[in-house]
Every structure is written in C-alpha cells, then in structure tokens.
Homo-oligomer: A and B are copies of this chain.
Amino acid sequence: MSQTVDRALSILPLLAEGPANLEQVAGRLGVHKSTALRLLRTLHEHGIVHRQPDQRYRLGTRLFALAQQAVENLDVREIAHPHLVELNAQTGHTVHLAVHEENEVLYIDKVESRYPVRMYSRIGKPVAITVAAVAKLLLADLPEQERRAVAQRLDYPRYTARSITDPATFLAELAKVREQGWATDLGGHEESINCVGAPVRGPDGRAVAAMSVSAPNVVVSADELLTLLPLVRRTADAISDEYSGRTPSPDNTERQR
C-alpha cells in the first residue's frame, strides 16, 4: 500500500539472513543506492537495524526489545476469554484458564455453565498442582532439569484414590503429557470430576497458559468427555494463534496434527 514503507520493511527479512552492505541491499531491493541509504538511515534511527563497525547493516536489538515488551503487555486472558465462552457454549461445561507463576499454577479465568457472569470463585486461587490437567500441561513444558526439581519439592496430597502421590509417577505423567500435547485429570482432585485440557503457546512455542474443560461424572462419563479433546485442542490452538499474532487463515478448516 505504501511504497516507501513497503521497501523499508522488505529490508528486514533480507538482513535477517545476515549482515549486508548498502549496495547489496540496494541491489536486492531494486532501487538506487541513495534510496536504500535513506531507508536504512531511517531504520537505523529507530534502532531497528544496527550498523556494524565494518559499516554493514544487521538487525538491531531494538527489535528484540519491542517483541519482548509486546508479549509482556499481552493479556492472555483478554484474548482467550471469547474462545472460552465459545467452547463453553459448544460443550455446556465449565472451562478454565490457568497460568504458571512462581511455583504455583493458578486459574485466571473461568466460564461456568449457565452463568455468563464472571464469578471469581476459583479464579486467582492456586490449583492442585499435582493432579490438575492445566498444571500438568504447564509443568510438562518446563525443561527437564527444572521439571525434576519441581517434582521433588512438591507436596503430593492424596485428594482421592486416584491422586498422584509421588514424584516419579508425576514425572512420568508429565513426560506423557509433554509427548501427547494434552492432559487429563480423571478424578484425581475430586472423585467425581474429570477434566481434559490443552496448552496455549506463545510465539516462541512455550506454554504461556493452559485451558481445560471440566465435568462431573454424573453429567458425562470420562470417555464422553474425552471425545471433546479435538475441540479443546482446536480452541487452545486458536488462542495460541491469536496470542502469537498469527492470522487465523479464513479457510483453515482443519489443522493437521
């Protein structure tokens, strides 16, 4: 739309390949040296490109700073909420969103069946970190070494007969979750409640949050709940895409796994 800006931006991927000098940039842009110079100068003033001692240009660290600031100011909850509502509408079940922070996993949003109003019942409260599906998802994303450290220092309350109660089992569960990309809690926290969840990932692929759908046995069996897995994963992926600034292509009917 804007020729000048278009040209300037075209320089970036070019420099991403590696440092380049003025003529190389001008050549690949198909413009006169002087034009390229002025574009590069402008980019330089904004710290987007950096001039090396050998006068060649490369991408600047300002880009990194910008990206960093952007993710920090991103509110997962804000982005996720509409998706959670939709999932709730589709399934009728309770939907949770959780993040990992300072050795705790806590709910930051919840859409409850029938109650459109946000009741902060469990929101903000730490989850049962050793059994909850969302907790497994978030911890499973940590590097191995750290996962081990965390598993060691946790307490393992026996909420129910199905609770995980030792580090080894927990680590094995995390490995499985990491492998398959989704998690469940089948009566591990409360005997009659099952959950199935999936991770929300940021631009760098790391899990920034996790979501889950929960329902009591009396409403749907665990097996029935599991049939919702594809839908849950699709929702989580949609949130990931939006959070990462990816454009959900209009015709992306189904994503391949």
CB within 8 Å of B: which residues of A? 1-2, 4-6, 8-10, 12-13, 15-19, 38-39, 41-53, 58-71, 73-74, 79, 82, 99-104, 106, 108, 114-117, 120, 123-126, 142-143, 146, 149, 203-204, 242, 244-247
Contacts and interface: CB of A to CB of B under 8 A. Distances in A.
A62 B204 contact: no
A166 to B, nearest CB: 22
A108 B50 CA distance: 15
B61 A99 contact: yes
A245 B8 contact: no
Contacts of A82: 53
Contact of A67 (B6, B44, B63): B63
Number of copies: 2
Majority SS at the chain A contact face: mixed
Contact of A124 (B39, B69, B73, B146): B69
A14 to B, nearest CB: 10
B1 A245 contact: no
Contact of A101 (B1, B6, B61, B104): B61
Given A8-B9, A10-B46, A65-B106, 10 more contacts: A1-B41, A4-B4, A5-B42, A6-B45, A9-B48, A58-B70, A60-B101, A61-B108, A63-B70, A103-B115
Nearest to A202: B64
Contacts of A1: 38, 41-42, 45
Contacts of A149: 114
27 contacts: A2-B4, A2-B38, A8-B9, A9-B42, A9-B48, A16-B66, A19-B73, A52-B242, A53-B82, A58-B70, A58-B74, A61-B74, A61-B108, A62-B104, A63-B245, A64-B70, A64-B108, A64-B245, A65-B124, A65-B126, A65-B203, A67-B67, A68-B120, A68-B124, A68-B125, A71-B120, A100-B117
A1 B49 CA distance: 14
Contact of A117 (B8, B115, B146): B146
Nearest to A78: B19
Contacts of A2: 4, 8, 38-39, 41-42
